[in-house]
Structure 1
Amino acid sequence: MSAFPAGPIPPDLEKSMLEIMRDVGLSTLSKNTLRRRLEAKYKMDFAQHTTELDRLVGKLMTTPEIQRELAKIQKEKEDVGARRLKREHSPSSAKKSKGKEGKREKKEKRPDDYPKGALSPYIIFVNENREKVKAKHPEMKNTELLSEMGSLWKQISEAEKNRYQKLADEDKLRYDREMAAYVARGGAVLKRGGKKANKVKKEKDPKAPKRPLTAYFFFASDYRAKHADIPAKQQMSEAGVAWGKMSADEKRPYEELAAKDRKRYEMECAGRGSKSSQSKAADSASSSSADSSSSDSDESD
């Protein structure tokens, strides 16, 4: 049951519904989510207006914009299904499956006294409010619940976010203390996935050219900077949806940045290859000189 009072149908209801469809995305939007977002915006209960909501949804579904989005979603589903079918019937799929099973067997079970990982501000917020939201909306699926938590996180004040940040900082200190005590007792530090972090990593060449960035990477970096107030995982998800909706003209600035960075990488690789060739030639000449001196010495003996 809604916490808001009943009210008349807003005059701009259709426009608001279209904005919510764009914001949430048709692939994840449900009637419950749409209704909750409308109730949060207008601060009123829409229970008595379900017939009108259904009528407007049906109307919006026939618009060219929504039809294009639905066709895109359908194509993505078909592409995913085709790729999955291809993987399942590929000769290497059986080998990969066996390889994964072998890797799972190698994973070590985390000890009972292993410190519990530090929580982020957003996770603390979710843990604190999930049951309240679930009790208010028992019909919600897990995916809808997570989507709702993300929306609520966006709506809280900076003061509230600072409170959760402080709790996260305290939990990080707790984790550091427990980990230090665990290591002092002789415990092995595990990487994500349960493997011991005792392998020596191959050092990267600090002078090696930095690999070129893609157009999407430039866009995603820009998107993260403009939406720093939302969780990183949600940023990635929303950036992917936004990129898919952009036109070729909107993507062009990022593609130009990517082309420029690719040219930079190629020039650095070419320069590095030239220096490497010169170094090898010098080493070869030095080796030949040493061999010649050794030969002359042998003949004189």
Structure 2
Amino acid sequence: MLSRALLPLTRVALNRSAFVVRAFGASALINKTAVKAAATSGKKPTPAKAKKAVKPKRTAAAAKPKRAVVKPKRVAVKKIRKADIHEKTLNSKKAIVELPKQAPAAYSLFVRDRWKKVQPREGGENQLAVFASVSREAGRAWRALSESDKQQYHKQREALLAQHVQDVRKWWAGVDRKQVALENQRRRRHNRNVALNKVKGSRLPLLRDPLAPKRPLSAYMMFASEHLAGKSGDSIKDTSRALGAEWKTMSDAAKAPYVSKAAVEADLYKAASQKYASSI
């Protein structure tokens, strides 16, 4: 009974083995035909490509550690505004532009000559003491000096003044007028701070071109200058107030001489200004 039951299973196994043998024989036959075809054509048969070995992936522990990139710190650059530079310039004690130095007086030239003859060996406070004594002696000698002997120093001063005029003309011809205006603004601020006792020191004069033509007087100023001639002190204030009231009540006919004279002076000033502007 058992043999009859196993008989179908053995038949199935035999059929499968036969199929495998047939398949193997067919593949072998195909390979043989491919070899023969290659031999007849002269080409070498291409062998089957071998599969590449797959490299194992690196784990997180085996991977090389990455270098940390350190970025440089940004330095905060403070922006300087033009307004801050302008304010710093106006509050500075240093002059923006300076005129050529004035020519020394005749007495200063005399003291300079006396000082050149003295050669103090000591320095510091002793030198200052020697200079003070020389200055006192020079003062007495200057007062005792005759006018003919003083004349040589006056001539030296006149020559230096003429040279100073040329230096001033050259300076004003080459200077930047914007810098001059900025220096005058700085001096006005300094003078205002001195008046308010915010800064110690003396008032600074404004820079004005001494060689430029002077502005003419107005008609009223010509009228007032005639009536104020020879007066001083408090009388000038009282007279000025009275002249101002009188000028307002004057007729056009009474003002005509001063108006016409002021017009002539204005024309002359305009022509002189144009000539001076072309010379610099």
TM-score for both structures, normalised by structure 2: 0.28
Larger Rg: 2
Q: TM-score, normalised by structure 1?
A: 0.26
